[in-house]
């Protein structure tokens, strides 16, 4: 096959894969020793992670679907979740979902504004000559 003279991307070429983020042993210990920064609750079941060996990083949106955001999870919860969406797994397993609550807006009491084109001129009397 000859070179592409137009410099167009070839749709059949394999794209380079992104590398997965993995915790080294030192990083795992650092995360475990600093719960005030990272916490120690599982992002899936919302229970405490009690053992260092249970600690894993979980992609909240599956890695296979382009997810980059990471959270802590139990090893078993992360394996159970697999490549499914976090909210779907939480609903199926009847875990407490992490859905954000909607804030209710209070109506502010504003004065009614008038259009600048609704001008009424005061009546004036002109003197008669």
Q: Is the pLDDT of residue 56 over 70?
A: yes
Percentage of the chain exceeding pLDDT 70: 71
Tally Cβ neighbours within 10 Å of residue 98: 13
Span 10-38, mean pLDDT? 78
Torsion of CA 54, 74, 49, 90, to 10 degrees: -170
Span 47-53, mean pLDDT? 90
| Strand, coil or helix: 112 | coil
pTM of the model: 0.55
Identify the pLDDT of residue 21: 67
Tens of pLDDT, residue by residue over 59-107, are: 888 877 877 778 888 999 888 888 888 888 888 877 766 555 556 666 6
Considering the chain, what is the average pLDDT of its residues? 77
């Amino acid at each position: 096959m000859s070179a592409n003279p137009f410099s167009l991307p070839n749709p059949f070429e394999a794209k380079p894969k992104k590398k997965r983020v993995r915790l080294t042993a030192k990083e795992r210990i650092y995360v475990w020793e600093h719960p005030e920064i990272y916490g120690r609750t599982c992002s899936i079941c919302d229970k405490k992670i009690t053992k260092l060996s249970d600690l894993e990083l979980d992609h909240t949106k599956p890695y296979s679907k382009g997810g980059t955001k990471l959270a802590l999870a139990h090893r078993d919860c992360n394996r159970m979740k697999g490549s499914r969406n976090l909210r779907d797994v939480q609903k199926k397993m009847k875990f407490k979902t992490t859905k954000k609550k909607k804030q209710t807006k209070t109506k502010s009491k504003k004065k009614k504004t008038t259009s600048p084109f609704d001008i009424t001129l005061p009546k004036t009397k002109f003197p008669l000559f």
